[in-house]
Amino acid sequence: MVSQISRPLPSDRSAPGDPQRLQRLRHTCAHVLAMAVQRLFPETRVTIGPSTETGFYYDFDRAIAFTPDDLTRIEADMRQIICANLPIVRETVDRDELRAEIAQLHEPYKLEILDGIPLGEPVTRYYIGCPDPALPQGAEPPSLFNFPVPEDPTPAAYWWDLCAGPHLNTTGEIHPEAFALESVAGAYWRGDETQPQLQRIYGTAWETPEQLQAYLAQKEEAKRRDHRKLGQELDLFSIQEEAGGGLVFWHPKGARMRLLIEDYWRSAHLSGGYDLLYTPHIANLDLWKTSGHFDFYRDNMFDSMTIEAQQYQLRPMNCPFHVLTYQNKLHSYRELPLRWAELGTVYRYERSGVLHGLMRVRGFTQDDAHVFCLPEQVTDEVLAVLNLTEQILSDFGFTEYEVNLSTRPAKSVGADAVWDLATDALIQALDSKGWDYVTDEGGGAFYGPKIDIKIRDAIGRLWQCSTIQVDFNLPERFDLHYVAADGSRQRPIMIHRAIFGSLERFFGILVENYAGDFPLWLAPVQLRLLPVSDGQRNYANTVAQTLKQQGYRVEVDASGDRLGKQIRTAELEKIPVVAVVGKREVEQQTLSVRTRQDGDRGALNLTELQGLMTQAIADRGRV
Ligand SMILES: [Zn+2]
Ligand SMILES: [Zn+2]
């Protein structure tokens, strides 16, 4: 039966720090996990276990749910397997012999995986531990780490899984203190909800214990900043299951912030040479047939509705509406470029399982814009978009970007000359901007090249936000043109672009980036006055009224709580500036000011407080 057991090839070896090695290490951990699970819980059936961005998972079929205690036991057994430094051995096997063997083991998923391997392709399995006594049984090649080899690594000294690889060469190449099991979640076989439900055990794995510790600390920090948790604590927004998943309710404080973001965005666009549009949320389905969305994007669209025997569609995108606006009259080359921006709300179908806070929703508002321009204007227009993007993102505190350029894929529409022109224009614009970028050759959409911009947040995470997409398809489908200098009709170039991406998602990123401690210009409440007793309430109200009239967002604590409690409440609500008003303050016409970042600022008169706040607002900073 053991037909072709081979030692791993020397070329499988690679140096630590190599991303492919890390991927192999993580996938190898998935095998080790499955081995440990079947050693401890032999009734469990195995399926598949890929690597992930931070570790690995494995899906198991077991009637009884894995408990946190089970995970601890499994992790300990994985450590045993790792410290035993078992070899990982690849075997090419005969399909029919293996089928018979699997049938005896009652591993239905393995059987299905085997039958899914195309005929003619080699079938391989990987052993952890070697079943062939003629071959060395561990400790060679030596473990990378000096951990004691357990005296008795039984009950099962070897285990195998059907897999195409690749893996590490021995379990000892995994550092026993650089992995951890994280959680158990439900999953379906093949991701299909009609298939059996499985238990997915997630783990994380790294090359060194230091990397694992850094990852765990980062995860803890991300949890502290989770926008869903802070959104509730700071009363910014909610998602009401009663109304449906993925639909966002902006509460007064969140709505106040959204208004500030929108006002900022509109004024930046008006001064950036854009005009603003408002267009409908639904339209005749024929429009989506002309645009091609009905054919290519239907899975992400809600079903259409019938109105007076016509089919209408909730919009998943704003583009066709801007195209119709363009088409409404004949444009001369002299009018171009036209830059039209809209905070356009769209609705897209997403499976309930993938919805996530504000990050993945079913209804959201894009900060969308379309530029219609002449071919020779593309470079300048794209450069202007890059400048506006940098201005807007940095005003919100994001100054580090990762930029990608995606070029023509194998299947595409549009003439070679137009693709070359547009791609060159994007490259020229990026070069003039002086931004480093990575080129994803062939990674563009079928209708044009694009630039994607990811922003780095306060804890180093990257978020995809801005996109600049050249489009040769929609102008063709809608037969757009302009009158050229010689009187002929020509196709304009269309550029789609968004800077935030979506207001909802960007808001979620803002909450996490600042951990709810917003810069003063964005804070829904900038200042709270805390009267020590009712005797100071009139003075506090008068000060609040004066500041409100000047446009500051001010509240007076009306709880009647003791001062200590009022201060604590303001802290929990992350109010940037608080001002205590006691007897002395009333007598001296001052306020005892305390800010979140800098603490006690002493007794300030109204003018001094205004100065402090005006400066912080102008700097878009935190106080
Ligand atoms: Zn594998
Ligand atoms: Zn668009």
Q: Is the pLDDT of residue 459 over 60?
A: yes
Rounded distance from Cα 320 to ligand 2 centre (Å): 8
Taking a 5 Å cut-off on Cβ, the residues next to ion ligand 1 are 163
User: What is the pLDDT, as a whole number, of residue 14?
Assistant: 58
Rounded distance from Cα 66 to ligand 1 centre (Å): 23
Co-location of 480 and 606 in the same domain: no
Which of the following is catalytic: 31, 39, 90, 450?
A: 450
SS3 category, 275: strand
Q: How much is the CA Rg of the chain, to the nearest whole Å?
A: 30
Q: What is the mean pLDDT of residues 305-314?
A: 96
Burial of 43 (0-12, 13-18, 19+ CB in 10 A): exposed
Residues 137, 110, 195: CA angle, nearest 5 degrees: 145
Tell me what percent of the residues of the chain surpass a pLDDT of 70. Answer: 93
For the chain, the maximum distance between any two Cα atoms, rounded to a whole number of angstroms, is 96
Co-location of 553 and 468 in the same domain: no
Q: What's 454's domain CATH number?
A: 3.30.930.10
Rounded distance from Cα 370 to ligand 1 centre (Å): 46
Co-location of 554 and 615 in the same domain: yes
Determine whether 319 is an active site residue. Answer: yes
Close Cβ partners of 617 (under 8 Å, ≥ 6 residues apart): 520, 521
Residue 109 domain-assigned?
Answer: yes
Residues 460, 405, 53: CA angle, nearest 5 degrees: 40
End-to-end CA distance of the chain: 72
Look up tokens 């007064």; give the residue: 252
Residue 1 binned pLDDT confidence (cut-offs 50, 70, 90): very low
| Count of positions (residues) in the chain | 623
Tell me what percent of the residues of the chain surpass a pLDDT of 90. Answer: 86
Close Cβ partners of 623 (under 8 Å, ≥ 6 residues apart): 520, 576, 577, 595, 596, 597, 598, 612, 613, 616
Could you list the residue range(s) of the whole structural domain that residue 115 is in?
A: 5-223
How far is residue 159's CA from residue 150's CA, in Å, rounded to a whole number? 17
Which of the following is catalytic: 38, 199, 313, 366?
A: 366
Residue 242 domain-assigned?
Answer: no
User: What is the pLDDT, as a whole number, of residue 257?
Assistant: 98
Give the CB-side neighbour count of residue 20, counting CA atoms within 13 A: 7
Residue 306 domain-assigned?
Answer: no
Residue 344 binned pLDDT confidence (cut-offs 50, 70, 90): very high
User: What is the pLDDT, as a whole number, of residue 135?
Assistant: 52
Rounded distance from Cα 62 to ligand 1 centre (Å): 21
- DSSP label of 356: B
Q: CB–CB of 272/384 below 8 Å?
A: yes
Determine whether 23 is an active site residue. Answer: no
Co-location of 555 and 464 in the same domain: no
Q: CB–CB of 401/467 below 8 Å?
A: no
Residue 35 domain-assigned?
Answer: yes
CB-based contacts of 35-39 (< 8 A; 24+ apart in sequence): 35/78, 35/81, 35/128, 35/156, 35/159, 36/74, 36/75, 36/77, 36/78, 36/80, 36/81, 37/74, 37/201, 38/156, 38/159, 39/77, 39/155, 39/156, 39/159
Greater confidence (5 vs 359) lies with 359
Rounded distance from Cα 415 to ligand 2 centre (Å): 21
Q: Mean of the per-residue pLDDT values for the chain?
A: 92
User: What is the pLDDT, as a whole number, of residue 133?
Assistant: 58
Rounded distance from Cα 368 to ligand 2 centre (Å): 7
**pLDDT tens for each residue of 12-24:** 445 667 889 999 9
Q: Is the pLDDT of residue 140 over 50?
A: no
Q: Where a domain ends, among 514, 542, 560? A: 514
Co-location of 510 and 531 in the same domain: no
Q: Could you say which ligand is closest to the alpha carbon of residue 498?
A: 2
Close Cβ partners of 98 (under 8 Å, ≥ 6 residues apart): 114, 123, 125, 162
User: What is the pLDDT, as a whole number, of residue 338?
Assistant: 98
Q: Could you say which ligand is closest to the alpha carbon of residue 371?
A: 2
User: What is the pLDDT, as a whole number, of residue 142?
Assistant: 41
Which of the following is catalytic: 83, 130, 319, 373?
A: 319
Rounded distance from Cα 474 to ligand 2 centre (Å): 9
Determine whether 368 is an active site residue. Answer: yes
Residue 150 binned pLDDT confidence (cut-offs 50, 70, 90): very low
Task: Tell me which residue of 565, 564, 562, 595 sits closest to 579, measured CA to CA.
Answer: 595
Close Cβ partners of 106 (under 8 Å, ≥ 6 residues apart): 45
Rounded distance from Cα 107 to ligand 1 centre (Å): 16
Rounded distance from Cα 88 to ligand 1 centre (Å): 10
Q: What is the mean pLDDT of residues 136-148?
A: 45
Residue 247 domain-assigned?
Answer: no
User: What is the pLDDT, as a whole number, of residue 19?
Assistant: 85
- DSSP label of 75: H
Residue 298 domain-assigned?
Answer: no
- How many domains in the chain? 3
User: What is the pLDDT, as a whole number, of residue 193?
Assistant: 85
How far is residue 346's CA from residue 318's CA, in Å, rounded to a whole number? 7
Co-location of 184 and 263 in the same domain: no
Co-location of 87 and 176 in the same domain: yes
Q: Could you say which ligand is closest to the alpha carbon of residue 164?
A: 1
DSSP H helical ranges for 117-251: 209-225, 227-233
Q: Could you say which ligand is closest to the alpha carbon of residue 447?
A: 2
Which of the following is catalytic: 59, 368, 471, 557?
A: 368
Determine whether 465 is an active site residue. Answer: no
Q: Could you say which ligand is closest to the alpha carbon of residue 297?
A: 2
How far is residue 80's CA from residue 172's CA, in Å, rounded to a whole number? 10
**pLDDT tens for each residue of 284-301:** 999 999 999 998 889 999
Q: Is the pLDDT of residue 145 over 60?
A: no
User: What is the pLDDT, as a whole number, of residue 9?
Assistant: 41
Flag whether the ipTM exceeds 0.85. no
Q: Where a domain ends, among 223, 246, 269? A: 223
Q: Could you say which ligand is closest to the alpha carbon of residue 124?
A: 1
Determine whether 348 is an active site residue. Answer: yes
Co-location of 82 and 170 in the same domain: yes
Which of the following is catalytic: 293, 370, 497, 622?
A: 370
Q: What's 546's domain CATH number?
A: 3.40.50.800
Q: What's 176's domain CATH number?
A: 3.30.980.10
**pLDDT tens for each residue of 209-241:** 999 999 999 999 999 999 999 999 999 999 998
Look up tokens 């227009």; give the residue: 381
Q: Is the pLDDT of residue 414 over 60?
A: yes
**pLDDT tens for each residue of 534-552:** 999 999 999 999 999 999 9
Q: Where a domain ends, among 514, 540, 565? A: 514
Rounded distance from Cα 48 to ligand 1 centre (Å): 8
Residue 398 domain-assigned?
Answer: yes
Rounded distance from Cα 441 to ligand 2 centre (Å): 22
User: What is the pLDDT, as a whole number, of residue 149?
Assistant: 45
Co-location of 131 and 258 in the same domain: no
Residue 141 binned pLDDT confidence (cut-offs 50, 70, 90): very low
Which of the following is catalytic: 21, 24, 315, 348?
A: 348
Residue 501 domain-assigned?
Answer: yes
Rounded distance from Cα 251 to ligand 2 centre (Å): 29
Co-location of 504 and 554 in the same domain: no
Co-location of 509 and 531 in the same domain: no
Which of the following is catalytic: 26, 31, 79, 496?
A: 496
Q: CB–CB of 184/198 below 8 Å?
A: no
Co-location of 196 and 323 in the same domain: no
- DSSP label of 51: B
Q: What is the mean pLDDT of residues 85-92?
A: 91
User: What is the pLDDT, as a whole number, of residue 5?
Assistant: 44
How far is residue 612's CA from residue 602's CA, in Å, rounded to a whole number? 12
User: What is the pLDDT, as a whole number, of residue 192?
Assistant: 87
Question: Which secondary-structure segment (H or E) carries 451?
Answer: strand 450-456
Task: Tell me which residue of 401, 378, 379, 404 sits closest to 390, measured CA to CA.
Answer: 401
Q: What is the mean pLDDT of residues 325-333?
A: 97
Rounded distance from Cα 422 to ligand 2 centre (Å): 17
